[in-house]
Each structure stands twice: as C-alpha cells, then as structure tokens.
Structure 1
C-alpha cells in the first residue's frame, strides 16, 4: 500500500510541476500536455526509481522470509 501511495504522490507532484513550467507556453494545448506528462512520468522519469523500490522490497521479503 505504501508503494502505491508513493507512486501517486510522485506522479501528482510531477504533473503539477510540468503544468506550471509549460503553462505559459502551451496554454491552449492543455490536454496534450497532460498526456505527455503522464507518458513522460511513467516511461522515462520514475521507472528507475520504482524498480529500485521493487528490488529493495523483494530483498527485504527474501531476507525476512515473509511469504
């Protein structure tokens, strides 16, 4: 549950920051900006971070012997 919460928080913060940075440049193109923000967030920015957390979580499960 914590992992999902972290993903949601990072995603919301990233999209808000992208809108703030590009709002003046593409005010009339908000829908495509939102689509790009979500694509960029999911496939380029946070994939490595979440893979690290998944690896860490798997290591803890193996070390602690939790099924």
Structure 2
C-alpha cells in the first residue's frame, strides 16, 4: 500500500509498505488515481506553487487537484 509521496529536485519518491516490508520507488512523474478515502491516508509532501494546488476537505476527505 502506498504510504507517502515526496517531491524533490530529481522527481518523486513513493514509499510503499506490504506487511513488515517497505520499498521506495523513484519516478519522474506521478499520477494518483484513487478514492478520496484512501488518498487521505497518504502523506503527500510535494512542493507546488499555490496556483497549481487546490485542496478541498469536502465530505469524502481530502481532495487534491493539480493543474
């Protein structure tokens, strides 16, 4: 299961956990497509300009849209 997404100068680091095992995957681009109930369980640490990031807590949890 995806636990965290972090952005840095080289792209993104995605942290996954499966039971007691963990793994980090590096990527240049990331698309997250999942229900909001799962999205709010993931730590997202991506530095984006304010105009490109819109979060709406809504009734389903956190919603993140990047333009």
For the superposition of Structure 1 and Structure 2, which TM-score range results when normalised by the shorter chain?
A: under 0.3
Q: Looking at both structures, which has the greater relative contact order when contacts are Cα pairs under 8 Å and sequence separation is at least 6?
A: 1
For the pair shown, the structure with the greater C-alpha radius of gyration is 1
TM-score of the superposed pair, with normalisation by structure 2: 0.18
| Structure with the larger strand share | 2
Q: Name whichever structure is richer in helix by fraction.
A: 1
